[in-house]
A and B are shown apart, each in its own frame.
Chain A
């Protein structure tokens, strides 16, 4: 069974701090994604990656960056955390291949980030 592990369930950070959210998957998936979930807005894609060292912007990349140095690990970085980045962050992966057709996303349990 696919396992996507997010390193922290809850995080509290201060405005202006640099924040790292880590995600590891154990199924050799090439595709990895970062979403945030907010009430009334559903899941919105921040960044995704199809391969090591490869990244593409999603719908709301502003204020975020990512790192994919190893295939199994995809990190989301908040360069200078702000209160409007308080949210639930969800990492996901999917089966190998350039395209995600017919390939469900497998999600981690999420990281609830609060920026004060």
Chain B
């Protein structure tokens, strides 16, 4: 059973608006969470991360929120740009391994 789930396979957003990508996890021992972006025919690239001792981490247009009680994290992209169109994977670490969600394909329309 997947320990990290991304329930939305796809998301379409207008350029300039906010994109919100969601991720749920089941293992309360996860202590570190990451988001990766993947373009076709390329490997995933690291985007942003958050430690379990924080509830928010911001890096430019990207903000990750962590709600430990709900075992939920989200990635906000503001403003969204066409170049953000990609597949986004969330991942969680339990100290020595990484577990990935199934990905959300984001399409930002010009």
Contact = CB atoms under 8 A, between A and B. Distances in A.
Nearest to B93: A100
Interface in B74-103: 89, 91, 93, 95-103
A90 B43 CA distance: 7
B10 to A, nearest CB: 12
Interface residues of A, number: 26
Given A45-B97, A90-B43, A108-B43, A102 B102 contact: no
Interface residues of B, number: 28
B100 A107 contact: no
B49 A110 contact: no
Given A90-B44, A105-B46, A108-B43, 14 more contacts: A41-B102, A42-B2, A42-B100, A90-B43, A99-B96, A100-B97, A100-B98, A101-B93, A102-B32, A105-B44, A105-B91, A106-B46, A107-B44, A109-B43
